[in-house]
Structure 1
Amino acid sequence: MLTLDKIYHAAFILKDVARRTDLIAAPRLSDTSELYLKTENLQVTGSFKVRGAYYKISQLSPEERAKGVIACSAGNHAQGVALAATRMGLRSVVCMPDGAPIMKVESTKRLGAEVCLVKGTYDDAHDRAVELQQETGMTFIHPYDDEQVIAGQGSIGLEILEQLPDVEAVIVPIGGGGLIAGVAFAIKSLRPDVKVYGVQSAGAASMFRAHRDHTYETLDTVDTFADGIAVKTPGELTFELVEKYVDDVITVSEDEIAAAILSLMENQKLVAEGAGAVSVAAALYGKLPIEGKKTVCLISGGNIDVNILSRVINRGLVMSGRKCNLMIALEDKPGQLTRVSEIISGCGANVVSVQYDLGDTNMAITSCFLKLGLETRDALQIEEIKQALTKAGFKLVSERA
């Protein structure tokens, strides 16, 4: 049974292993609430997962240690298990989905684990890990649905209360639920007045649906670039703890997550992965009642795949109104582009790409479509440009990102 004493014991065991990550003020992220960031993206393995994995493995018996450990992970838990096992001199095997970011796979190997790539999703990797555990007798280190793993994650809750004693709300990412279960249990046990909110990607909303319907559920599919929380089935123990200790669970879109990653990079000089940024996305887009409250957003990890980072930044620019594409129907005669350019520059925006389409069968033979890529300040400036073009007699055909 999870107790506050176990969480305090986990914090003691972890004091020389896991960083006591900084809690930093983030005034540029919100005008309506006093935001702080708990920077677990700066943890020794780039995510909070090392806390639960290390504490769980530290409590194994000599017999269990001798057989080694096995785990399943989309990447962050894998690194935590690898680091913990290697430090304690144990063999570790980690099953990961074959679509896991290369960086996470290579980091897991570098930390000393044997990696078994499994075709499919995290849940497929979980099933393969269970099979291997039964074949080998190794100890299975569950990424979230384990009392000692949850206790390790709960040490973050203790740190938040120590670093910001008058905190009023805490926003936590959710995949399988181990992080929020531990954090919520710790915080609600010591400060029941503090609100604890969970956030999931809308494309992997297993705990959101379970919490909404008050029944344990499994999704048919998940679809999100936030691979760290792409979980079809939440934990049974974590679901019970979320039901008891979490005030609400909400979702954010892929575009909102991308915009949050961009905002963290620009305003806080912090790199967060998709799973780590969902808490900030919830705050940025007004998904929770935190106006005027001292609120902590837990950034759970920073291990983003550099291969998709440019795409994430591009989506974030579009979402925040910093980039847009306009298509204008023009009469094909000299001077038209000059007039359009003057209007756009007069509004303070920058044209970064120009393309003429003369072959669309939906337009007159003497006309063309002018496709423009713009760098803009925000959504208001985009609207100003559109109104100015319309006022000058130009017809906006469509706007595509």
Structure 2
Amino acid sequence: MSVSFAVGFEDIRAAAGLLQGVANNTPVLTSRTLDARANAHVYCKCESFQRTGAFKFRGAYNALSRVPEATREVLTFSSGNHAQAVALAGSLLDIQPTIIMPRDAPEVKLEATSAYGANIIPYDRSEITREVLAQQLASERGLPIIPPYDHPHIIAGQGTAALELLQSQPDIEVLLVPCGGGGLLSGTTLAANAIRPGIRVIGVEPAAANDAALSFKSGMLHTVHNPQTIADGARTPSLGALTFPIIRALAHDIVVVTEDAIIGAVQFLWERMKLVVEPTGALGVAALLSGVISADRKNVGVIISGGNVDLSQTPAWSKST
């Protein structure tokens, strides 16, 4: 029985065509030390080298490119990377974004978003949800909302990272993907299953923000309110109404990693591979290094989702590798 989703592989291919020459085809890097530690052949798709420093530019540009010509202003909400991506895409497409951002977002992301020319509206995570605030403002101002993950064009754009990875490394057997709201994971599962049927796509999220793992295992959407994790990009309360059905049907599993494992992965990538990777971006490597994933000498792809590190926070990351 075939299953229909809000997004298909043809949408990902269309997004790839639209992004050609605009988004970076980011490098795939390897490390003999990582291979030895993980007991696998590991291929890291480094979206930390993407425009705005994260994969989010792919979905943002794809979505804003499809906004009606008469619409020159949009509204979105984000903890940082989607905000920067929408701000840059808006400047390239002559669209003015207004972005709802939490007051505790990393300073580097707040500053970069503002520098791209976006209007920023701060909010307190403990007082109101960003979705509710966005709906209020959208109604007041008559603006379309471009959400950070639960949108067909966003999902399609994010799937292009896996498309590029599997085009360059077609023998990948297992693909590890950071998971917050599920935009990257759902897009990746769609692309990977179309290109390489039988591939195991596994989402990775912090144990302190394990809504996706709970949802995947129970078959029902779970919410974790105001999760506290160093991986700020994974502090979403739940998967989306569009991303969850795709992930539930096509992902192989969702696993969780501890805060110490995340910090250890960030430090490993910095020290051994000379990569500046934010905690959310290091989730896949954390799963390998901590033994949560048993690779068994397989060819493993890892999407390093971003590199927007708030350097003022790094002294607190005291775990030694």
Does the pair score TM above 0.5? Answer: yes
Q: Quick check: 1:36 aligned with 2:43?
A: yes
Q: Tell me which of 309, 312, 336 is aligned to 2:314.
A: 309
Q: 2:179 and 2:189 mapped to 1: Cα distance?
A: 12
Deviations 1:261-293 (A, max 9, x none): 000001100011110001100011111231210
Residues 201 and 224 of structure 1 are in contact (CA less than 8 Å); yes or no, is this contact kept in structure 2? yes
2:92 corresponds in structure 1 to 87
**C-alpha displacement at 1:121, in angstroms?**
5.8
Q: 1:123 and 1:303 mapped to 2: Cα distance?
A: 25
1:157 corresponds in structure 2 to 162
Q: 1:123 and 1:225 mapped to 2: Cα distance?
A: 21
**C-alpha displacement at 1:50, in angstroms?**
0.5
Alignment of 1:1-400 (within 5 A): 1-31=6-36, 32-63=39-70, 65-66=71-72, 68-120=73-125, 124-312=129-317, 314-315=318-319, 317=320, 320=321
Structure 2 counterpart of 1:50, which letter? F
**C-alpha displacement at 1:217, in angstroms?**
1.2
**C-alpha displacement at 1:17, in angstroms?**
1.6
The root-mean-square deviation of aligned C-alpha atoms, in Å, is 1.3
Q: 1:264 and 1:288 mapped to 2: Cα distance?
A: 18
Structure 2 counterpart of 1:207, which letter? A
TM score, norm. by length of structure 2: 0.95
**C-alpha displacement at 1:221, in angstroms?**
3.5
**C-alpha displacement at 1:308, in angstroms?**
0.8
Structure 2 counterpart of 1:289, which letter? S
Helix, strand or coil: the match of 1:138? coil
Structure 1 counterpart of 2:49, which letter? L
Residues 204 and 230 of structure 1 are in contact (CA less than 8 Å); yes or no, is this contact kept in structure 2? yes
1:336 corresponds in structure 2 to none
Larger radius of gyration: 1
- The list of structure 1 runs, each at least 4 consecutive aligned residues, that deviate by more than 2 angstroms after superposition, is 121-127
Residues 97 and 122 of structure 1 are in contact (CA less than 8 Å); yes or no, is this contact kept in structure 2? no
Residues 122 and 231 of structure 1 are in contact (CA less than 8 Å); yes or no, is this contact kept in structure 2? no
1:374 corresponds in structure 2 to none
Structure 1 counterpart of 2:59, which letter? G
Q: 2:260 and 2:269 mapped to 1: Cα distance?
A: 14
Change (3 A) 1:16 1:122: farther
Residues 123 and 232 of structure 1 are in contact (CA less than 8 Å); yes or no, is this contact kept in structure 2? no
**C-alpha displacement at 1:237, in angstroms?**
1.1
Helix, strand or coil: the match of 1:62? coil
Q: 1:106 and 1:172 mapped to 2: Cα distance?
A: 27
Deviations 1:76-111 (A, max 9, x none): 000010011111111110000000011100100111
Q: 2:25 and 2:111 mapped to 1: Cα distance?
A: 25
Helix, strand or coil: the match of 1:83? helix
Q: 1:4 and 1:122 mapped to 2: Cα distance?
A: 39
- Worse overlay, 3-12 or 170-179: 3-12
Higher relative contact order (CA 8 A, sep 6+): 2
